[in-house]
Every structure is written in structure tokens, then in C-alpha cells.
Homo-oligomer: A and B are copies of this chain.
Amino acid sequence: MWGQSAAATELALMPVPATMTTSGGAFPLTANFTVGVTGVDSPRLDGAISRALCRLSNKTGLQLSREPTHNGTGALVIDVRSKDAPVQGIEEDESYSLNVTPQSIHLQAATSTGAMHGLETLLQLVQPEKGGFIVPGVTINDAPRFRWRGLMIDCSRHFEPIEVLERNIDAMAAVKLNVFHWHLMDDQGVRVESKRFPKLMQLGSDGKFYTQQQIRDLVAYARARGIRVVPEFEMPGHSSAWLVAYPELNSGSEPPGIRREFGISAYALDPTRETTYRFLTRFLGEMVTLFPDQYVHIGGDETPAPDWKKNPRILAFMRTHHLEDNAALQAYFNRRVLAILTHLHRRMVGWDEIFNPGLPKTVVIQSWRGVASLSKAAEQGYEGVLSAPYYLDGMQPAARHYLADPVPADTTLSVEQQKLILGGEICMWGEHLNERTIDSRIWPRSAAIAERFWSSQSVRNVDDMYRRLEPISLELESLGLKHLSSEGAGLRSLAGTEQIAPLRVFASAFEPVSFGERSSTQHTNQLTPLTGFVDAVRPDPPVRYQVEHAVAILAQSPKGHSPEVDEARALLQQFFSSTGDSVPQVEAMMESSPRLAEMRVRADQLSQLATIGNQALKYLQQDNAPADWKRASLDTIATAKKPGALVRFHFLEPLTALVNATQ
């Protein structure tokens, strides 16, 4: 088991494999490295091998042959037993075993998908040693804990170009996620091309949509990486962009145009007219030609639909059909849509709200409400996917998401009921995203969540997770992700200069506020520019955990002098001194940058907080904090906690602990 071997814990695999033993020794990588394939022929696997060799070459600087041989010889031999299914299903066997000795590497898997996971593990194992690169000797037997390990990206509120999705799919594959949930339609835009209903694009998209060819290509791109694509078409609410294009589908009120405001809209499809179902039959019939996956997501959430309560025709329909309220009418709608999807050989997925008495058990519930809601569905025999704890727009630390388990240790579900929990999905809603900022909101935090979905329930050591997060984060950047470079670009743009070294240090003290706080403060809509300081800084920057961890160590031994304690103290001194020192330099930059000047109050606060931090470190060692100092410092921290400039200090809790630890 992971963690039992000292050598193993020095490795930085994420997600942690099911079982791993280190066997000593290492396989040395040289320019002669080759890959041979045995078992079934799979062009998909060949492509994955080529890409892996290219990454290995980029990582090591070795010029490697990029093509596998099919005669079963090579330094790495890959043995796959089963041919690729035409469509990757939820039952796909994703297991693999990997055996590295000083002489050879052997990767075995039932499917190409499993072999691809093994290749990612292998790439993560590569380490520098004695001027070259090696793969440490290990034996790994690995398989996922959950079958459904998803990432949802909302492309409606803000359109994301195809290359953004491609690189995020690359990143998903690197951490063994296997479902890309594509949120394609919502109030702010229809992003899918329909040839049957062209007005969806003409009137409902601002010209920003994916062509059918692009969709087919992206689905193929994902499939090549072992990732299913589940499309979502929101109905009957969150559908005002549909209704802009086809007002005849509305429930009585016609939206005046594409909705720029976020939040819940009043518009909804009319569930009482047969034209609605004819439309959906034709539309979904077209969509399933683009999306071969077995599942189609119909949204189904947040449908207040006031029209349903006042449109006489709808009210009459409800009386006739004995539908006593909106919920019952929506349940009727869901059953009709389910029939359409069943006819199209698809299974239906929806958000919590579709869970309603009488719903057939073939439906899958995606829970944005939480474990309790999901468990309730499972108790009644429904399959489910957990999303509530994995909303990235809350701008929470990775640790918070990481510790939330789809099936917690204290679950009350029976073993059989637990099997109904298919897995989890990370949700990246798009209100405050654009193509520049999206990666930094998703990564590297999603790598930690991916581990939650893949690895054993018992893998819960936050310190070890953060230790492994940085190497994965760098690997993702090598894959093309922009989560580490976007901050610099944003800061340069704000400052109007390339000389942003002090501004980088300054920025490292902040995180963006949550979606909710920003929405209510700034009243954002689809046209709000997303180029502020809040957009440049990233959630859970590495230094946040480092400070938290250092304070935890120091609190145990405020005057101690072990190497660990000294290191913690030095890190904190460095953090408080460098951020404090950055303030005057950044204030000078504000003179010529009106947009940076919005941070003036936060700059003053940072200066004070940094001083408090340094004083606390001093007083901790001396036991002579002045009488008023602690109280005044805690007041300053309390003031800094208040909202301002759409960003928050990420170190206020550890700083409070530090101040409170002084005598």
C-alpha cells in the first residue's frame, strides 16, 4: 500500500495508485528507449504512445523514436488484451499493471484506456538522477475507485475556444479523469451547431458556437485520450437562449434577447405543447449523431417558471393531467424527454431537481445539492454522481475539495447502494471565466479532486497531497496548460510594464473571492471585462498552503530550533518580508495604472499584515508581545477580512493563529 515505503512516498504520483511496491533499482532512460506493443492492434493506443514518447523526449531532452513497434520488443512492452469498444462505456475496464525493473518496463492492461492510464503513471514516475533521468523500480497494480470521474465546463456563459477544451482534456487524461461534461446550452448562449434549427446559432449564440465538425473532432480527441464526452442541453429552464431563437417554445413570456445577466431566469420551455416535444425529438435526434456517448444530460435545474403558474392554457393542462404544481409538471416533462432519449438509445442525466417520485431508475442524478441529496436518491435505487463539493468557482483551497468524498467513511448507504454512486464531477461554471483565466481556475486543484475519484478512500493526507501537487502542476504546464502563466500575463497588462517582479510577490498574498461574493459585489454580467486584478490572481496559490503548514509547525514549537521549525520560521519571515516590501513598489506602479490603483486599500492592509506577521514571529521567540499589540493586530486582521477589491488575503487564519500564539 501507498505510504508504507519511504521510497514510495518520495514519488509524486497523482492520483495515488491502488497498490504500489518499490523494488529497488531503476530503469535508466537513454536515447535508445523504444516501445513495443503486443496483444491487440489499436491505433488509439499507438497514438497515445506517440504522444507519450513526445512528452518523454521533451521532458528529458532525449531525441526518441516516436513510433511503437508491433513485434513485441522494446524497452517498454505494452500488452493490451481487448480490442477497443466502438464507444467507451461506463463499464470500461480501466485497470492496468506496471512493472519497472532496471532492465525493462512492462505495462499490461485489459483495454487501451487502461494502458493510457499506465502511460500517464509511467511519465509521472520519471525522475532526474545523476545527470540523467530514470524510472524507479516499482510494481503497480492500479484501478479506479469510481467509474465516473468528470469535469464539467460551462461554455455558455462565456464561450471557450476549442483549443482551451483540448488542452483541458489533455490535463484530464494526465490525472485519469474520464468524463468531459460539456455544458453547451444555457441562458447566455447556445454553443452547439444545429443544422435542423439554424436559428439557434443565428439568434442565440452571438456567433460563438462549435460547428458539428468541431464537435466531432473534439469527441474524437477525447476518445483518443480515454475520455467520454457527455453533452448537456439545459431544459426546461436555463433555456432562454433557445427561446430567443424559437419563441414559439416559450411558456408565455418571450425573452427580449440573449440574456446578459447571470442567475436564474424566469423563462422556460412550454411542457404542455406537443410542438415542444417535436422540437426536442428532432433536436436531440440530431445531437446524438454528434455525441456517441451513452448518456445525455438534460440539466433540469432551477426552473421557477412563473409562467406555469399563470398561463391559463398551462394551468388547464395541469388540471387535465392531474399535475398539481410546477414540480409535477416538470416531472411530466422529464418523463416525456426520457422517452425521447430512450428511443434514441440514450440514458438521461439531470441535476438534483429531476429526482422526483415516479422517475424511472434508468435516470442518473447529478447532485449539486450534496451527499445527503445523493444518498437519498441512492437509497431509492437511483445512480448518482456527486458534484456539490467540487464547485471550483467557490475559489476554495484544493484541500477542501480533496477531503469531500462521494461515499464518505461514515456513509449510511449499504454496500449495494454505494455501488449506485458512480463517482463525482468537478464543476467549472463560466460566469467569471474567459479563455485566459479558465486554466488557473481548474488546475491544479482538479488534480487533487481527480485523486479523490480514483484513489482509495483512505488516501486523505493533505500535506502529502500538496507535496505532490506542484510536480503535477508543472507537468500540466508542460502539456500546454496556461494556469501558471496567465497570472503574469494578467499582471503585465494591468501594470503596463514587463517589470512585474514586485507585483508578482504582491499578488501572491491574494486569492480571488468566490463566485457568490463577486457576483453580489460587482453585479457582473456577460459583458463585464474579466481583466482585473481578481482575474489575474489564482485560487489556492502554493504559498497559501506553505504558510498554513509553516504556522502549524511553528505553533507546536514556537521557540524550537529543529531543521523543520527553522525552515518554517524562515519561510514565514520570507513571506511577510517580501510581500511587505513589495507594497511601496506596487504603490509606485499604481501611479500610472488606474486599474491597479483599485488595490490601494488592499495594499495598505497588506503592509500592516506583513508587519504584524514579522512582529508575531519576533514576539513568539521572545515572549514579550506588548500589551496592546495582540488586540490591535487582531483588529487589523478583522478589518482585512472584510470584502474589498474582489480579492481576499489567503493567510488571515494562520496569521491569527500566529498572533494568538504569542505571549
Assuming the A-B contacts A61-B531, A163-B161, A594-B133, are A496 and B213 also in contact, with contact meaning beta carbons closer than 8 angstroms in the complex? no
Assuming the A-B contacts A529-B57, A594-B132, are A497 and B470 also in contact, with contact meaning beta carbons closer than 8 angstroms in the complex? yes
Q: Which of B61, B63, B484 contacts A595 (CB 8 A)?
A: B61
Give bound CA distance, A485 to B488, whole Å.
Answer: 7
Question: Contact between A61 and B128 (Cβ–Cβ < 8 Å)?
Answer: no
Quote the shortest CB–CB distance from A51 to chain B (angstroms).
Answer: 12
User: Could you say which residues of chain B place their CB within 8 Å of the CB of A64?
Assistant: 527
Question: Contact between A477 and B501 (Cβ–Cβ < 8 Å)?
Answer: no
Quote the shortest CB–CB distance from A228 to chain B (angstroms).
Answer: 23
Question: Contact between B529 and A62 (Cβ–Cβ < 8 Å)?
Answer: yes
Q: Which of B128, B161, B213 contacts A593 (CB 8 A)?
A: B128
Question: Contact between B597 and A131 (Cβ–Cβ < 8 Å)?
Answer: yes
User: Could you say which residues of chain B place their CB within 8 Å of the CB of A131?
Assistant: 594, 597
Give bound CA distance, A57 to B529, whole Å.
Answer: 6
Within 8 Å of chain B (Cβ to Cβ): is A401?
Answer: no
User: Could you say which residues of chain B place their CB within 8 Å of the CB of A57?
Assistant: 527, 529
Quote the shortest CB–CB distance from A328 to chain B (angstroms).
Answer: 41
Question: Contact between B488 and A474 (Cβ–Cβ < 8 Å)?
Answer: no
Question: Contact between B529 and A63 (Cβ–Cβ < 8 Å)?
Answer: yes
Nearest chain B residue, comparing its CB with the CB of A496: B474
Cβ < 8 Å to B, chain A residues 460-481 = 470-471, 473-474, 477-478, 480
Q: Which of B133, B478, B484 contacts A488 (CB 8 A)?
A: B484
Within 8 Å of chain B (Cβ to Cβ): is A70?
Answer: no
Q: What 0/1 readout, one digit per residue, does chain A (521-539) give for beta carbons within 8 Å of chain B?
A: 0000101111110000000
User: Could you say which residues of chain B place their CB within 8 Å of the CB of A504?
Assistant: 501
Q: What 0/1 readout, one digit per residue, does chain A (234-269) give for beta carbons within 8 Å of chain B?
A: 000000000000000000000000000000000000
Within 8 Å of chain B (Cβ to Cβ): is A297?
Answer: no
Within 8 Å of chain B (Cβ to Cβ): is A493?
Answer: yes
Question: Contact between B58 and A531 (Cβ–Cβ < 8 Å)?
Answer: yes
Nearest chain B residue, comparing its CB with the CB of A481: B489
Question: Contact between B477 and A594 (Cβ–Cβ < 8 Å)?
Answer: no
User: Could you say which residues of chain B place their CB within 8 Å of the CB of A525?
Assistant: 63
Assuming the A-B contacts A489-B477, A501-B501, A527-B57, are A496 and B471 also in contact, with contact meaning beta carbons closer than 8 angstroms in the complex? yes
User: Could you say which residues of chain B place their CB within 8 Å of the CB of A594?
Assistant: 61, 128, 131-133
Within 8 Å of chain B (Cβ to Cβ): is A69?
Answer: no
- Chain A count of residues within 8 A CB distance of the other chain: 53
Give bound CA distance, A595 to B501, whole Å.
Answer: 25
Nearest chain B residue, comparing its CB with the CB of A593: B128
Within 8 Å of chain B (Cβ to Cβ): is A181?
Answer: no
User: Could you say which residues of chain B place their CB within 8 Å of the CB of A162?
Assistant: 163
User: Could you say which residues of chain B place their CB within 8 Å of the CB of A471?
Assistant: 496
Q: Which of B133, B477, B493, B496 contacts A493 (CB 8 A)?
A: B477
Q: What 0/1 readout, one digit per residue, does chain A (45-62) give for beta carbons within 8 Å of chain B?
A: 000000000000111111
Within 8 Å of chain B (Cβ to Cβ): is A103?
Answer: no
Q: What 0/1 readout, one digit per residue, does chain A (486-509) give for beta carbons within 8 Å of chain B?
A: 101100110011100100100000
Within 8 Å of chain B (Cβ to Cβ): is A66?
Answer: yes
Within 8 Å of chain B (Cβ to Cβ): is A663?
Answer: no
Cβ < 8 Å to B, chain A residues 573-615 = 592-595, 597
Within 8 Å of chain B (Cβ to Cβ): is A542?
Answer: yes
User: Could you say which residues of chain B place their CB within 8 Å of the CB of A213?
Assistant: 213
User: Could you say which residues of chain B place their CB within 8 Å of the CB of A493?
Assistant: 58-59, 474, 477-478
Quote the shortest CB–CB distance from A461 to chain B (angstroms).
Answer: 21
Question: Contact between A527 and B63 (Cβ–Cβ < 8 Å)?
Answer: yes
Nearest chain B residue, comparing its CB with the CB of A528: B63
Centre residue among A471, A484, A530 by max chain B CB count within 10 A: A484
Give bound CA distance, A493 to B55, whole Å.
Answer: 12
Q: Which of B62, B485, B496, B527 contacts A489 (CB 8 A)?
A: B485
9 new A-B contacts at CB < 8 Å, known A128-B496, A484-B498: A58-B493, A58-B531, A59-B531, A63-B528, A161-B163, A436-B480, A474-B496, A484-B488, A485-B488
The 8 lowest CB-CB distance pairs between A and B, nearest first, are: A485-B485, A163-B163, A58-B531, A57-B529, A58-B529, A131-B594, A128-B594, A478-B493
A-B contact pairs, 21 of them (CB 8 A): A58-B529, A58-B530, A59-B531, A61-B529, A61-B531, A61-B594, A61-B595, A62-B529, A63-B527, A63-B528, A65-B527, A128-B593, A133-B594, A435-B480, A471-B496, A474-B492, A477-B493, A478-B493, A482-B485, A485-B485, A488-B488
